[in-house]
Amino acid sequence: MALKTEKNKLKALRKQMVTTLTLLHHRGWALIPQVHLTARVTGLPELTDLITDLPLLTIQLPEPFPKLAGDYLLITRPGLPVVDVIKKPEETILLFKCAENGTVLHLMGSQHDIRIEPCSALINHLRFHEKLAGTIKNAIVMLAEPDDLIRLSAIMPYENAFSPDKVLCSAWPPVKNLLDPPDVKQLCQIFDTDTNGYRVAGHLPGLVIWEKHGAYVAAKRISSAITMLEAASKAARLALPFSLQTQTIL
């Protein structure tokens, strides 16, 4: 009897996830078809195929990274107010929370909170193109996409969430505290003379989040960030089919 009850719960949960993600898709979300979410569901193996077969983003899960325990990663619409994300989880495609040991994430879809044990530990980078995986594997790629497609933001912690559409530096401690003096000098030079659009968008423990034209990466040094931003931008262009390149999220 208990087994039947669990199966019924699983069936209802599966239906809810399909309904939620289908609804989001028909609301105008541009879901990239060539890649998908890779994860392993603890205690709910039947959901694994459902998750991996849906046209979601491929998220690589590296070695444990306990420093980010309690942090969140959010995939949502551009410009969606943080208060709406908190009060209306059905407006969010995916929301992950890393557990204290750095190995368990929570997947939130609609009103459900599903415990997920990733293949490794915490999301480390977003891979849009197989050939560029080696280039960006040591970075946390927050966003790699054309401006009008899916937005990927980071929340660290949740109540200090930021949007790619806002100026982020004011929401964080001074970035110069995270950098060596030569990097601070180089940062000032970039702001003063660079016309390519690089800027500081926030920080992670020991890392700075850099942005260029809607692509976000986390790196300690400016030179590494520039290299990874260029790779991420190129990867986004290569991975998207022509039919999605002009599609806009409503």
Single pTM value for the model: 0.24
State residue 211's pLDDT score.
59
- Span 49-55, average pLDDT: 35
pLDDT tens digits for range 120-129: 222 322 222 2
Q: Write down the mean pLDDT value for the chain.
A: 38
Radius of gyration of the chain (CA): 18
State residue 1's pLDDT score.
58
pLDDT tens digits for range 73-89: 333 333 433 333 334 43
State residue 230's pLDDT score.
59
**Ranges of each domain in the chain:** 2-244
Beta bridge partners of 75: 94, 152
Q: How far apart are CA 60 and CA 125, in angstroms?
A: 6
- Span 101-121, average pLDDT: 29
Closest CA to 59 of 94, 7, 83: 94
Q: How far apart are CA 245 and CA 182, in angstroms?
A: 39
Q: How far apart are CA 201 and CA 214, in angstroms?
A: 10
8-state DSSP, 47: H
Q: How far apart are CA 121 and CA 115, in angstroms?
A: 13
Look at strands 151-155 and 198-204 and give their pairing.
unpaired
Q: Starting at the earlier edge strand, list the strands of the sheet with 112-116.
A: 112-116, 105-109, 94-98, 72-76, 151-155
- For the chain, what's the residue count? 250
Q: How far apart are CA 173 and CA 178, in angstroms?
A: 9
User: With bands split at pLDDT 50, 70 and 90, how would you rate the model's confidence at 223?
Assistant: low
The three-state secondary structure class of 76 is: strand
* Residue with more model confidence, 5 or 68: 5
Percent of the chain past pLDDT 70, that is, above it, reads 0
pLDDT tens digits for range 88-101: 433 333 333 333 33
Range list of H helices, the chain: 2-26, 46-53, 82-87, 133-136, 181-193, 222-239
Question: Could you tell me if 250 and 28 are in contact, meaning their C-beta atoms sit under 8 angstroms apart?
Answer: yes
